[in-house]
């Protein structure tokens, strides 16, 4: 997810109604196009025509969806809406010792508007209430890495492609995982 400006001024979000609702089958096309927006910069470097890009994204999004369904079967999968318009997604899975931020993505027009930060603060509030850390895997080149670091996430592990990052509530005492 990126909550950093993307070059264009993000719309003002003046306390407007940012709501979450469960993902439904009717959201699949929107979620696929959202996924495309998160890969758009990367795809500029591929020698694909538009149809090849569309097929590649469809395959990659289906694979990601299957991966999430297998590895995060208890995740709460929500569509982010602002003023009734779908503008993103957030998937959160709460486990015994941590809250995993599985995925968060916002359409380009709303990146940098503060919505991502606000939603992360909601997750932090839950983490503080239940005394759990918040973890997320982030690609090393993801622009949102700056956002996560600014909000207090620290890198705890890497596999070369992804960083495992965590945020701990004040006074959190780490126990064996």
pLDDT tens for each residue of 143-173: 899 999 999 999 999 988 899 999 999 988 8
Closest C-alpha to 89, from 100, 73, 76, 98: 76
Q: What is the mean pLDDT of the chain?
A: 89
Asked if 101 and 92 count as a contact pair (C-beta separation under 8 A), the reply is yes
Query: In sequence order, which residues have a C-beta less than 8 Å from that of residue 51 and are 6 or more positions away?
Result: none
All domains in the chain, ordered by first residue: 18-167 (3.40.630.30)
| Pairwise CA distance, residues 119 & 53, whole Å | 30
Task: Tokens 């709501």: give the residue.
Answer: 19
Per-residue pLDDT at 106 exceeds 90: yes
DSSP E strands in 4-132: the ranges are: 18-22, 76-82, 85-94, 98-106
In angstroms, the Cα distances linking 125 to 89, 118, 121, 130, 132 are 19, 11, 6, 9, 10
Q: How many beta carbons lie within 10 A of that of residue 157, not counting itself? A: 11
41-75: pLDDT as tens digits:
888 888 888 899 899 999 999 999 999 999 999 99
- Structural tokens at position 73: 């079967």
First to last CA, the chain: 26
105 by Cβ neighbours in 10 Å (0-12 / 13-18 / 19+) ranks as: buried
pTM over 0.85: yes
CA–CA dist 98, 80 (Å, integer): 22
**DSSP H helices in the chain:** 28-43, 50-71, 115-130, 145-150
């Amino acid at each position: 997810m990126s909550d950093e400006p993307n070059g264009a001024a993000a719309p003002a979000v003046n306390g407007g109604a940012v709501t979450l609702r469960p993902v439904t089958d009717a959201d699949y096309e929107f979620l696929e196009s959202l996924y495309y927006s998160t890969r758009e910069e990367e795809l500029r470097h591929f020698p694909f025509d538009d149809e090849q890009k569309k097929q590649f994204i469809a395959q990659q999004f289906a694979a990601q969806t299957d991966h999430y369904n297998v590895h995060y079967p208890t995740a709460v999968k929500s569509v982010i809406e602002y003023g009734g318009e779908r503008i993103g997604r957030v998937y959160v899975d709460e486990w015994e010792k941590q809250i995993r931020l599985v995925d968060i993505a916002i359409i380009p027009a709303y990146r940098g508007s503060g919505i991502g930060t606000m939603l992360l603060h909601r997750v932090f509030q839950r983490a503080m209430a239940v005394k759990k850390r918040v973890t997320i895997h982030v690609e090393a080149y993801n622009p949102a890495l700056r956002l996560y670091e600014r909000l207090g996430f620290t890198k705890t592990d890497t596999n070369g492609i992804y960083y495992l990052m965590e945020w701990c509530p004040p006074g959190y005492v780490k126990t064996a995982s």
